[in-house]
Amino acid sequence: MIEAYTAEGGNPNTAATQYAYWKKAYDVRHGSKPAQFGSVGRMRLSVGSDGRITIPAEMRDAMLLRGESAVTAEVVEGELRILSPAAALERVRALVAKHDKGEGSPVDELIAERRAEARREDSDEP
């Protein structure tokens, strides 16, 4: 669909955005809504004279960005990488899961360690 539009000289960003609007409306009407991160092929984006880049709706949907949102960005070897809050949270969850020993809440463990340390310090004082 997008390829046919661009083959006729249409702007690929416009085509992708309009398709994303249609797909979102279709999904709402038919009860299917993506709950996972998606993937979108490369798209040519414009950088305005003020440095602004508009992220097409299809890409925002794939990043699980809803409404107005803040993202994290970095440039690595000339490549701009934009991280959505949902993706950042998934990364943190994955890091925590790697270190989870299955012994309960890490917060409770930390509090217990701090209290034990405080008791030791109190017992060492004259």
- Read out DSSP for 15-81? HHHHHHHHHHHHHHHHT----S----------B-TTS-BPPPHHHHHHTT--SS---EEEEETTEEE
Whether 77 is covered by a domain: the verdict is no
pLDDT in tens, 33-71: 446 888 999 999 999 999 999 999 999 999 998 888 899
| Together in a domain, 45 and 12 | yes
* Owning domain of residue 27: 1-69
Which of 69, 96, 113 is the last residue in one of the domains? 69
Q: Is the same domain home to 62 and 10?
A: yes
Say whether both 22 and 58 belong to one domain. Answer: yes
Contacting residues for 6 by C-beta, under 8 A, at least 6 apart:
12, 15
Domain for residue 23, yes or no?
yes
What percent of the chain clears pLDDT 70, i.e. is strictly above it? 84
